[in-house]
Amino acid sequence: MDEPTSSLTLKEIERLFTTIERLKEQGTSIVFISHRLEEAFEIADRITVLRDGRYIGTKDIYGDEVSVDDIIRMMVGRELTELFPKKQVKIGSPVLRVDHLAKGSQLYDINFRLNKGEILGFFGLVGAGRTELARVIFGLEKADRGSIYLDEQEVKIDNPWTALEHGIAYVPEDRQAQGLVLPMSITHNITLPVVDKFSTMSWINEYKETAEAKRYADILQVKAYGLWEQVAKLSGGNQQKVVLAKWLATNPKILILDEPTRGIDVGAKVAVHEFVGKLVSRGVAIIMISSELPEVLAMSDRVMVMFEGRIVDEFSREDATQDRVLSAAVGMRAENKQIAGVRT
């Protein structure tokens, strides 16, 4: 089973694990490939770690008394003080404000603000409306009503190019279908949104283009044989780094990350989290959408919880706990809650 839970809900994952246990009792041997360590510890008897195409080792979960830290150390090849290296920065003034945004049956009266240097986490179950909200802000979909303000000035964003002109970048949840052109090279993917910088009279200066791509590939530590390698041949983690490099090249003020670490290994996750920390230290404001609650809790300065197309609760970093966020995500919240200064 290769990443069988990547697109499943929590309830579906429970049903899958029940089926796996039944198969084990019937004598079926199972190889379970996953980037989610908690799953491996929940259902596996032994864990084998591969890194950069090499066998690192195998641990018996029960006999060796192995810990999550032990496995992480094997996966990344170095000591880790934490999986989520949160960088503390001074939060600035609002750079984005969304007022009463609505879209059909997907979004209802969405209100929130995003501040300079802040990581604003969005959590919710599948179908809560998180991705739809991101796509509206980036101009991929049109809202039925509502307003978007940048630096307290109302703007009309009706397509991605307008969003880019206003300094908004968007890393989609499906990197292969929406974030990359797989047959193209690393260089061409990274420079795609800014190719006009290297073109004169329809001619592209390949030297300048390659230099720009190398700059951002080095920042993200993309591992490849060369910048002209097809992104289709890269690992999931390196593909995700190329997507991040692509939008970093646009020099964004606001970066929307939709499932930024889905389907990548622990080492790549740490690299992505460290990169996010560097961005906020430069004043970039980040919206982080993730189905991994530990990621949301560890990386966010504030957490917005969505349920059935609505923002139903907001938590400060100090108040956001797993129980409280999960309760809100399944529709359990206090009535008449004040969210982002607007009564819902």
Q: What is the CATH number of the domain that holds 169?
A: 3.40.50.300
Strand-pair category, 338-339 with 342-343: antiparallel
Domain residues for the domain of 128 are: 94-343
Q: Do 217 and 298 belong to one domain?
A: yes
Q: Do 23 and 126 belong to one domain?
A: no
Query: What is the phi/psi pair of residue 111, to 5°?
Result: -135, 125
Reported residue count of the chain is 344
**Number of domains composing the chain:** 2
Instruction: Answer for the pair 137, 98: CB distance below 8 angstroms, yes or no.
Output: yes
- Residue whose C-alpha is closest to residue 131's, from 88, 95, 178: 178
| pLDDT tens by residue, 248-304 | 999 999 999 999 988 787 778 888 888 899 899 999 999 999 988 888 999 999 999
Q: Do 127 and 22 belong to one domain?
A: no
Angle between helices 236-248 and 206-220 (to 10 degrees): 120
Q: Identify the three-state secondary structure at position 186.
A: helix
| pLDDT tens by residue, 46-80 | 999 887 678 999 999 877 778 877 887 787 665 54
Instruction: Answer for the pair 121, 293: CB distance below 8 angstroms, yes or no.
Output: no
> Residue 343 has what pLDDT?
33
**Is 100 a domain residue?**
yes
| pLDDT tens by residue, 143-189 | 999 999 999 999 999 999 999 999 999 999 999 999 999 999 999 99
Q: Do 114 and 154 belong to one domain?
A: yes
**Is 85 a domain residue?**
no
> Percent of the chain, pLDDT > 70?
94
Q: Do 49 and 152 belong to one domain?
A: no
**Is 84 a domain residue?**
no
**Is 1 a domain residue?**
no
Q: Do 37 and 151 belong to one domain?
A: no
DSSP conformation class of 84:
S
Token couple for 36: 């989610």
**Is 88 a domain residue?**
no
Indicate the pTM of the whole model. 0.77
